[in-house]
Amino acid sequence: MAEIRKYPAVRHLRGDQAAHTLYFRNGKLARSGRGLALWFRPLAAAVAEVPLDDREVPFLFRGRTSDFQQAVVQGVIAYRITDPQQLAERVDFTIDLDTGAWRRTPLEQLAGLLTQLAQELAHEYLAQTAGRLAARGRRSVAGQADRRADR
């Protein structure tokens, strides 16, 4: 979380080393970088902070195999953000200029998107696989997820 100090008419932001800070002035990207420190005027600025550390999202859901057997899929998605500017265009990582905290819940939104992707892949895999084969198929699902996440 960014540290913001208030001074008359200006503010000072010191970004975390594990986060990429995007500073917009008058609607245009003025500066961006990891662990950024800068002075800004709050009425003409917007700041987004995208975490760059490793994150994990656990999931658990039920499905049905091709031979109509109930199956439970459990796993963990580990991810790291490699292009913070592109992600900040799609998910709102804007921080409050008074507190330095996110205005919304971007990590929960990202976790929801990743869980939906995993659920889609798992249901697709289970629908094509018999129950006894599905129990052994964890590597092929992980390979499909890696290929789809690269897109």
The pTM assigned to this predicted structure is 0.78
Considering only CA atoms, give the Rg of the chain: 20
Whole-number average pLDDT of the chain:
88
Query: How far apart (Å, rounded) are the C-alpha atoms in residues 8 and 1?
Result: 22
Average pLDDT on 16-30 reads: 94
What is the pLDDT, as a whole number, of residue 21?
96
What is the pLDDT, as a whole number, of residue 46?
95
The helix/strand/coil state of 23 is strand
The helix/strand/coil state of 42 is helix
Query: What is the band of 124 on the pLDDT scale with cuts at 50, 70, 90?
Result: confident
For residue 132, is pLDDT > 70? Answer: no
DSSP-assigned letter for residue 98: T
Average pLDDT on 51-72 reads: 90
For the beta sheet containing 28-34, the strands, ordered from the edge strand earlier in sequence to the opposite edge, are 28-34, 19-25, 45-51
What is the pLDDT, as a whole number, of residue 70?
87
For residue 27, is pLDDT > 60? Answer: yes
Query: How far apart (Å, rounded) are the C-alpha atoms in residues 53 and 141?
Result: 25
Lowest mean pLDDT among 8-22, 53-67, 98-112, 121-135: 121-135
Query: How far apart (Å, rounded) are the C-alpha atoms in residues 57 and 59?
Result: 7
Lowest mean pLDDT among 77-81, 123-127, 146-150: 146-150
Find out whether 131 and 65 touch, Cβ atoms under 8 Å: yes
